[in-house]
Amino acid sequence: MTDALDRPTSILVLGATSEIAQAVVRAVSSPALQRLVLAARPSEQRAALAATCGSVPVLEVLDFEARDPSGHAALLDGVFERGDIDIVLVAFGVLGDQEAFEADPDLAVDAAQVNYVGAVSVCLGAARLLRAQGHGALVVLSSVAGERARRSNFVYGSTKAGLDVLASGLAYSLDGSGARVLVVRPGFVRTSMTAHLAPAPLSVDADEVAAEVVRGLRRRASVVYAPRPMRLVMSTLRHLPRPVFRRLPL
């Protein structure tokens, strides 16, 4: 359970080596945090991350592969059997390259397996467990790319659109259970994953996304945008007539 100041005492991060995930953990961490579970592929990056979290009384580092849903239920069940979880952060994903996806559909299928199929597996599993314990938040990193198809990234956008609808539906399904869902819709985030791309207008860094996550959790919001003005931008883009939208450099 969260403490008297509504600070989380336990966090599970799926995709812990994500720069946004790490920023969120930093932002929500406090002296109240007693247990942190970092789930990611084995790597030097994961080991380095774990080394920075040594002050947390209970630190668990688990192997996690988004492409292999067969292992997700056992991982989640084991985490929750060892104690309640206040926040489950779903932060894994691949960006990929639109031209490469069109040239080799197998690459697009792999991206969908990670971004959508893997996320379906863990989101449904985590929601089930949060519902059973009667409290906790499922925080899902989506993207504004899923709100309307764009020529430059429609394969990636399609995977995020599916994830976004799933997470939004789970929010409805958890009504009245004590558990909840926060969908996070960042715009362009400046991380190592996007370092090869020119930053888009209203781009943010991982810490700015994390700040909006913290704000959303405190407000018990169902959706947050990063940066906040992106909500208005996307509302406008969603309603533009198709002939106008097609001429935009998106």
Domain ranges of the chain: 10-246
Query: Quick one: pLDDT at residue 249?
Result: 76
Q: How far apart are CA 112 and CA 109, in angstroms?
A: 5
pLDDT in tens, the chain (250 residues): 676 678 899 999 999 999 999 999 999 999 999 999 999 999 999 999 999 998 899 999 999 999 999 999 999 999 999 999 999 999 999 999 999 999 999 999 999 999 999 999 999 999 999 999 999 999 999 999 999 988 889 999 999 999 999 999 999 999 999 999 999 999 989 887 787 877 777 889 999 999 999 999 999 999 999 999 989 988 888 888 888 878 877 7
Q: Counting Cβ atoms within 10 Å, is residue 135 exposed (0-12), middle (13-18) or buried (19+)?
A: middle
Query: Quick one: pLDDT at residue 4?
Result: 64
Query: Quick one: pLDDT at residue 177?
Result: 97
Query: Quick one: pLDDT at residue 192?
Result: 76
Catalytic machinery residues:
156
Residues 16/43, Cβ–Cβ less than 8 Å:
no
Query: Quick one: pLDDT at residue 3?
Result: 67
CATH 1.20.120.1200 matches 10-246:
no
Q: How far apart are CA 192 and CA 92, in angstroms?
A: 14
Residue 168: both structure tokens together? 């939004």
Query: Quick one: pLDDT at residue 195?
Result: 74
Q: How far apart are CA 20 and CA 210, in angstroms?
A: 7
Pairing of strands 223-226, 189-190: unpaired
Which DSSP helix (H) or strand (E) runs through 78?
Answer: helix 72-81
| Residue among 158, 141, 115, 136 nearest 209 (CA) | 141
Query: Quick one: pLDDT at residue 207?
Result: 95
